[in-house]
Amino acid sequence: MASTTASDRVFRDLCESIVSGRYAPGEKLPTQRALAADLGVNMAPVREAVKRLEQLRLVEVRHGDAMRVADWRATGGLEAMAPLLFRPDGFDPQALAALMEARRVMLAQSARLAATRRTEDQAAELQRLAARIEESTGDPSAVQALDFAFFAELIEAAGNLVFSLVMNSIKHLYLENAALFSELVADPQELAPLYARAARAIAKRSATTAERAVDRLAALQEERVSG
């Protein structure tokens, strides 16, 4: 894991202050000079952190005006999920539950789309991955990697560009925080038949069966991760 830089620390501290509500939408933030003094760093890390906050649409910086907190719930993108999820005192349960709920809905709808849009190669790959999951039930880390590969292939087969972009964002969260999501594949013996059922349904172009199988699978995973 890469070491934490001064800019990373400033960015994390400011994100925490914004998403926790310490700074309200529209509120002026301290000047960059004041932030640097308060956080015990020079100006360079603060400037870098502020640029990252602007990119995430968490703050607004206008020439001749103070730096203000944006209404990030209305303006932010999925990239804001990481600072919202992972705080210094641990992950945010409500944010994690929201992420898992959105994941379930997206995957279930992707299964329905995949059943009508998939290619023969994609159908075969989903069945191959489902079989590998069943064979790898004794190795949690292997199952976790295969789980992500299965759903990445499912999204690809669905042929929806927006779903693919969302999956890319989730991928970074997932890979950088794999331990947090390890419960996704807890008790793989229970889960393995659902991957297989979904893959068979997609191969047979049975949209309703595919959707139900993936919804059930993702719902079980949601319960395990969200507690």
Considering the domain architecture, whether residues 133 and 166 belong to the same structural domain is answered as yes
**pLDDT for the residue numbered 212:** 98
Among residues 80, 78, 10, the alpha carbon closest in space to that of 48 is found at 10
Position 87, amino acid: R
CATH, residue 12: 1.10.10.10
Q: Would the pLDDT of 131 be above 70? A: yes
Contacts 24+ apart (CB under 8 A), 52-58: 52/7, 52/11, 53/11, 53/14, 53/15, 53/18, 55/79, 56/80, 56/83, 58/14, 58/15, 58/18, 58/19, 58/83
Is residue 114 domain-resident?
yes
Domain C-terminal end among 46, 76, 106: 76
Percent of the chain with pLDDT over 90: 43
**Tens-place pLDDT, residues 202-225:** 999 999 999 999 999 999 999 988
Considering the domain architecture, whether residues 56 and 107 belong to the same structural domain is answered as no
Average per-residue pLDDT for the chain: 86
Considering the domain architecture, whether residues 65 and 100 belong to the same structural domain is answered as no
**pLDDT for the residue numbered 1:** 36
- Structural domain containing residue 11: 6-76
Ranked by mean pLDDT, which of 14-23, 40-49, 56-65 comes out on top? 40-49
Considering the domain architecture, whether residues 221 and 118 belong to the same structural domain is answered as yes
Distance between CA 191 and CA 122 in Å, rounded?
A: 21
Number of structural domains found in the chain: 2
Considering the domain architecture, whether residues 168 and 217 belong to the same structural domain is answered as yes
Q: What sign results for the dihedral spanned by CA atoms 165, 171, 173, 176?
A: negative
Is residue 67 domain-resident?
yes
Percent of the chain with pLDDT over 70: 89
**Tens-place pLDDT, residues 149-197:** 999 999 999 999 999 988 887 787 777 777 778 888 888 788 999 999 9
Neighbours of 70 (CB within 10 A): 20
Considering the domain architecture, whether residues 28 and 57 belong to the same structural domain is answered as yes
Q: Would the pLDDT of 58 be above 70? A: yes
CATH, residue 211: 1.20.120.530
Which residue would you say has higher pLDDT here, 152 or 5?
152
pTM of the complete model: 0.74
Is residue 38 domain-resident?
yes
Q: Would the pLDDT of 112 be above 90? A: yes
What's the pLDDT band for 17 if we cut at 50, 70, 90? Answer: confident
71-85, 119-133, 138-152, 198-212: which has the minimum mean pLDDT? 71-85
**pLDDT for the residue numbered 79:** 65
Considering the domain architecture, whether residues 71 and 94 belong to the same structural domain is answered as no
